[in-house]
Amino acid sequence: MGILSKPFPRLTKQAFSLGLGLSLLTSNLVMPSTAQAEGQLRIAEQFGIVYLLLNVVRDQHLVEKYGQQEGLDIKVDWTQLSGGSAVNDALLSGAIDIAGAGVGPLLTVWDRTHGRQNVKAVASLGNFPYLLVSNNPNVKSIADFTAKDRIAVPAVGVSVQSRYLQLASAKLWGDKDYARLDAYSINLPHPDAAASIVAGGTEVSAHFSNPPFQEQELTNPNVHVVLDTYDLLGPNSPTVLFATEKFRTENPKTYHAFIEALSEAAAYVQNDKPGAADTYLRVTHAKINRDALIKIIENPRFEFTINPKNTYPLAEFMYRVGAIKNKPASWQDYFFEDATPLQGS
């Protein structure tokens, strides 16, 4: 499949652990205390094909296009972080306006800001199976992990991968032991974890990631799937975009331009997979074979859409085990309701 994808290597090293998350923000972002004025938009994304809609928005200058239709010249700033904790910190500090992260981090920050900043999701980035893989032949299921294993995730106990692992653990051992595998988990950005899994010989024996890293890892015959999130939950939207109520309220034209841009990007990716692959390569500078990338994007289990799917079971689980204090009545409690309502679950 070619060299492992490692976009933005400088930020990857800075984001090696959550402990460095705040220093990364300080060195790479301007950190005002209030939301930006209308006409400015700061977006944070992470790693992988799940952020392809944002890649298209950026490459085709779609926010700027729809801003001009609103009579507004919008300046868009992009940054890349690793881990839901770093993304949530950036959003709450006022360093970014739109955050890209998993449903787990969304629910955490929604709960934390309930009745205050009121952070909610703006849209989904699509439906994708996330795979937990291992290069340890003795690990056939999550029940086989031992203290000798290290499971790489973007943010232990916070990232959507970590929450999925907790949900699977609760199903196997009961809610009281939902966090059993947190002790074996470590914080590591996807590009670095994928390189470790493929190379072998490191403390990292498993990695819970997303496309294209999981597909690249599986080209190694010594790597196998331990857990598929579609088996755990069915087709679902693991990654979303979210913002504060203040930003949405005070920047209606900028916000609307972003939603329209995202909708156009989703239609583009669904209808032109080769073009989308070229966009991903152009924006991320990933070192991955183009044909292999197109094959990954064309996976029939992938759906590039802004409508969230099957997110609520994770919310119910997180409330049940005490990970969030406020129980949402439905997925609509943690998504903004816009003029054109999302069709989700």
Across the chain, which has 345 residues, the per-10-residue mean pLDDT values are: 39 35 37 61 92 97 96 94 84 94 94 95 96 97 97 92 97 97 95 94 94 94 97 95 96 96 96 96 92 95 95 97 96 86 70
What would the pLDDT profile of 191-249 be if each residue is shown by its tens digit? 999 999 999 989 999 999 999 999 999 999 999 999 999 999 999 999 999 999 999 99
**What is residue 10's predicted lDDT score, i.e. its pLDDT?**
36
**What is residue 84's predicted lDDT score, i.e. its pLDDT?**
74
Find the length of the chain.
Answer: 345
Alpha-carbon gap, residue 340 to 43, rounded angstroms:
22
Backbone angles phi, psi at 323, to 5 degrees: -75, -25
Alpha-carbon gap, residue 254 to 39, rounded angstroms:
6
Alpha-carbon gap, residue 341 to 345, rounded angstroms:
12
DSSP 8-state code for residue 152: E
The token duo for 203 is: 């403390």
> pTM of this prediction?
0.85
Domains of the chain by range and CATH?
A: 9-128+237-334 (3.40.190.10), 131-233 (3.40.190.10)
The token duo for 239 is: 């990654």
